[in-house]
Chains A and B, each alone.
Chain A
């Protein structure tokens, strides 16, 4: 077999779509956010007594920061598995509208539903925002490839950062561990404040910050779940009440 002088490129556009996905992942502002957050999450897992394999796999399998932190802190508080599962589920409902919004953008006329399961797994706020922004510029038949490459790159970065945070907290001085663990509550709070545009979300945030510690202090069972349901329902009720008074 003689090597061709000008090799035939099998499908340059699709190849380019994969590369574009990787490139968007590395240049996205979310890359930095994901690496920082998951270093903090890895540190958190270490101090809550999880293994590095569990921590890293949870990033690859769950790929939902709030749900992962809920699960890990639940173990620290001695929460039952059922309560933890319900809290994780309630926290991840937000993924459903993201999937519903992104899939019509990346689906082609001959796409079968199973082909959408892989890109849908990568959907979290990062892939959703970058997918909605960049995919429409690509030919329709290459958008799934683009989203898969984008998602795989970000998930891999998150998983690597999780393992890095886990080992760094064990190796570096105690103050580093404290600072790394502090990234999670601080960044979650700040992004929740920034993303809270409706009165409903702002009230839910404030009520949660008040009711959560109260329930935990008085050692009410299922405290995390009740915090979400009570504070969330109060905020929802207040929003409805205001709507009716107008």
Chain B
């Protein structure tokens, strides 16, 4: 399995679809209520949050293709602007997204790529 190319449709089924969908099937099978505050649920929630943080960091620091042409300083500055926009503008993710995107485009245009 370690030699399976992730770009293949087989990988999409085995590495993408199955490990994700199995939790929905388990939810149907389980059927009864689950203690949202149990220790294992809390731990999984922390791990899932950290995974998202890791993916965010990975895309910003080691981006693919076109995003890699934007200087690292602009990418980090734009993320910071987005966070500031989010907190200043009533904690709205939409406002943060607009501010961060505008900062990225302005930064790329002014600093050059």
A in complex with B: yes
Minimal Cβ-Cβ distance residue in A for B49: A204
Beyond A100-B27, A183-B101, A224-B58, is A88–B16 a contact (Cβ under 8 Å)? yes
- Central interface residue in B14, B44, B59, by most chain A CB within 10 Å: B59
Minimal Cβ-Cβ distance residue in B for A47: B65
Across the interface, do B52 and A85 meet the contact criterion of CB distance under 8 Å? no
For residue A54, which residues in chain B have a CB less than 8 angstroms away from its CB?
Answer: 7, 9, 12
Across the interface, do B53 and A87 meet the contact criterion of CB distance under 8 Å? no
Q: Mark B8-35, 1 if CB is under 8 A from A, else 0.
A: 0101111111111111111111111110
Interface residues of A in 32-91 (CB under 8 A from B): 36, 43-44, 46-51, 53-54, 57-58, 61-62, 64, 66-71, 73-77, 79-82, 84-91
State A121–B24 Cα separation when bound (angstroms): 7
Beyond A94-B45, A190-B97, is A185–B56 a contact (Cβ under 8 Å)? yes
Residue ranges of A at the interface with B (Cβ–Cβ < 8 Å): 36, 43-44, 46-51, 53-54, 57-58, 61-62, 64, 66-71, 73-77, 79-82, 84-101, 103-104, 113, 116-117, 120-121, 123, 169, 174-175, 177-179, 181-194, 196, 198, 200-201, 203-209, 211-213, 216, 223-224, 227-233, 235-236, 239
A interface secondary structure, majority = helix
Beyond A188-B56, A235-B50, A236-B43, is A80–B2 a contact (Cβ under 8 Å)? yes
**With A192-B52, A208-B54 already in contact, 17 other A-B pairs whose C-beta atoms are closer than 8 Å:** A90-B48, A100-B30, A100-B31, A104-B33, A178-B67, A181-B66, A182-B78, A185-B55, A189-B79, A204-B49, A213-B57, A216-B58, A224-B58, A228-B47, A231-B50, A232-B44, A232-B46
Across the interface, do B66 and A177 meet the contact criterion of CB distance under 8 Å? yes
Across the interface, do B2 and A82 meet the contact criterion of CB distance under 8 Å? yes
For residue A191, which residues in chain B have a CB less than 8 angstroms away from its CB?
Answer: 93
For residue A169, which residues in chain B have a CB less than 8 angstroms away from its CB?
Answer: 66
Minimal Cβ-Cβ distance residue in B for A232: B47
Beyond A90-B51, A190-B93, A208-B51, is A117–B23 a contact (Cβ under 8 Å)? no
Find B65's partner among A77, A117, A181, A196 (CB 8 Å cutoff).
Answer: A181
- Pick 19 A–B contacts, CB within 8 A, sort by A: A47-B66, A73-B59, A80-B2, A85-B15, A88-B16, A91-B52, A96-B24, A99-B24, A99-B27, A121-B21, A179-B105, A181-B63, A182-B101, A188-B52, A189-B82, A190-B86, A204-B53, A209-B54, A216-B57
- B14 shortest CB reach to chain A, Å: 7
State A236–B12 Cα separation when bound (angstroms): 31
Across the interface, do A174 and B82 meet the contact criterion of CB distance under 8 Å? no
Across the interface, do A97 and B34 meet the contact criterion of CB distance under 8 Å? yes
Across the interface, do A182 and B16 meet the contact criterion of CB distance under 8 Å? no
Beyond A187-B97, A239-B42, is A207–B32 a contact (Cβ under 8 Å)? no
For residue B31, which residues in chain A have a CB less than 8 angstroms away from its CB?
Answer: 100, 103-104
Across the interface, do B42 and A236 meet the contact criterion of CB distance under 8 Å? yes
State A161–B75 Cα separation when bound (angstroms): 24
For residue B50, which residues in chain A have a CB less than 8 angstroms away from its CB?
Answer: 204-205, 207-208, 211-212, 227-232, 235
State A224–B62 Cα separation when bound (angstroms): 13
Across the interface, do A71 and B15 meet the contact criterion of CB distance under 8 Å? yes
For residue B55, which residues in chain A have a CB less than 8 angstroms away from its CB?
Answer: 66, 69-70, 73, 185, 188, 212, 224
